Chains A and B, each alone.
Chain A
Amino acid sequence: MLTLAQQLWIGLTNGMVFALIALGYTMVYGILELINFAHGDLFMLASFLALTLVGLLGLATASGPVVVVGLLGVVLACAIFAALINRTVDRVVYRPLRNAPKLAPLVSAIGVSFVFQNLGLFWGGLPLDVMGGGLAAAAPKSFPDLIPSTNLLGDGAAFRITAKDLVVIGSSLCVMVALWLFVTRSRLGKAMRATAQNPLAARLMGIDVDRVISATFLIGGALAGFAAVIYGLYVNTIKFQDGYQNGLYAFTAAVLGGIGNIPGAVVGGLVIGIVRALSDQYIGAQWQQAVVFGMLIALLVFRPQGLLGANVREKV
Chain B
Amino acid sequence: MSPALRRHAPLVLVALLVLYPLLPFLDWAVTAIFGVRLQLDRQIINVMIFAILALALNLQVGYAGLLQLGIAAFFAIGAYTTGILTVDKYPFQLGFAGALLCAPVVAGLFGLLLGAPTIRLRGDYLAIVTLGFGEMTRVVILNLENITDGPRGLNPIPEPVLPDWLRDGLDRFLPADRIDLAAIHWIVLAALVGLLILMKNLERSRAGRALVALREDELVSGCMGIDPARTKLTAFAGGAAIAGLAGALYATNLRTTAEPNTYDFSYSIMVLCCLIIGGLGSLRGVVLGALVLLSFDNLVSPLLTRALQEQLGHDSTSVFANFANWRWLIFGGALILMMRFRPGGLWPARKREVDPATKADA
Chain A residues in contact with chain B, CB under 8 A? Answer: 33-35, 93, 96-97, 100, 102-108, 110-119, 121-122, 124-125, 134-135, 137-138, 244, 248, 251, 255, 286-287, 289-290, 293-294, 296-297, 300-301, 304, 314, 316
Contact of B340 among A108, A117, A286 (CB under 8 A): A108
User: Assuming A118-B332, A297-B129, is B320 touching A107 (CB within 8 A)?
Assistant: no
Chain B residues in contact with chain A, CB under 8 A? Answer: 65, 67, 69, 117-118, 121-125, 127-129, 131-133, 135-136, 139-140, 142-143, 219, 265-266, 269, 272, 276, 317-320, 325-329, 331-336, 339-340, 343
**CB pair A114 B124 closer than 8 Å:** no
12 of the cross-chain contacts (CB-CB < 8 Å) are A102-B124, A103-B123, A106-B123, A107-B272, A107-B339, A111-B333, A113-B332, A117-B328, A137-B325, A290-B143, A296-B129, A296-B132
**CB pair A110 B335 closer than 8 Å:** yes
Q: Which residue of B lies closest to A244 (CB)?
A: B265
Residues of B within 8 Å of A138, CB to CB, are 319
Q: How many A-B residue pairs have CB under 8 A?
A: 135
Contact of A301 among B69, B117, B136 (CB under 8 A): B117
**CB pair A297 B118 closer than 8 Å:** yes
Interface of A, secondary structure class, is helix
**CB pair B332 A293 closer than 8 Å:** no
**CB pair B121 A304 closer than 8 Å:** yes
Q: How far is the CA of A197 from the CA of B299 in the complex (A)?
A: 51
Distance (whole angstroms) from the CB of B73 to the closest CB of chain A: 11
Distance (whole angstroms) from the CB of B199 to the closest CB of chain A: 21
Q: How far is the CA of A86 from the CA of B226 in the complex (A)?
A: 41
User: Assuming A296-B132, A304-B121, A316-B219, is B336 touching A111 (CB within 8 A)?
Assistant: yes
**CB pair B125 A304 closer than 8 Å:** yes
User: Assuming A106-B124, A111-B336, A286-B142, is B132 touching A118 (CB within 8 A)?
Assistant: no
Contact of A115 among B127, B266, B320, B328 (CB under 8 A): B328
**CB pair B136 A125 closer than 8 Å:** no
Q: Which 5 A-B pairs have the closest CB atoms?
A: A111-B335, A114-B332, A125-B319, A293-B132, A137-B319
Q: Which residue of B lies closest to A287 (CB)?
A: B143
Q: How far is the CA of A107 from the CA of B343 in the complex (A)?
A: 11
**CB pair A115 B329 closer than 8 Å:** yes
Contact of A108 among B125, B272, B326, B336 (CB under 8 A): B336
**CB pair B326 A118 closer than 8 Å:** yes
**CB pair A119 B123 closer than 8 Å:** no
**CB pair A97 B143 closer than 8 Å:** no
**CB pair B129 A111 closer than 8 Å:** no
Contact of A114 among B133, B139, B319, B331 (CB under 8 A): B331
**CB pair B129 A300 closer than 8 Å:** yes
Contact of A103 among B67, B118, B128, B319 (CB under 8 A): B67
Residues of B within 8 Å of A124, CB to CB, are 319
Q: How far is the CA of A294 from the CA of B135 in the complex (A)?
A: 10
**CB pair B128 A296 closer than 8 Å:** yes
**CB pair A107 B325 closer than 8 Å:** no
Q: Which residue of A lies closest to B331 (CB)?
A: A114
**CB pair A100 B339 closer than 8 Å:** yes
Q: How far is the CA of A314 from the CA of B228 in the complex (A)?
A: 16
**CB pair A125 B340 closer than 8 Å:** no
Distance (whole angstroms) from the CB of A90 to the closest CB of chain B: 13
Distance (whole angstroms) from the CB of A216 to the closest CB of chain B: 17
Residues of A within 8 Å of B276, CB to CB, are 107
User: Assuming A290-B136, A296-B132, A300-B129, is B320 touching A122 (CB within 8 A)?
Assistant: yes
Q: How far is the CA of A118 from the CA of B327 in the complex (A)?
A: 8
Given contacts A111-B336, A293-B135, A297-B133, 10 further A-B contacts (CB under 8 A): A93-B340, A106-B127, A110-B269, A110-B335, A111-B332, A112-B332, A114-B332, A118-B327, A118-B332, A293-B136
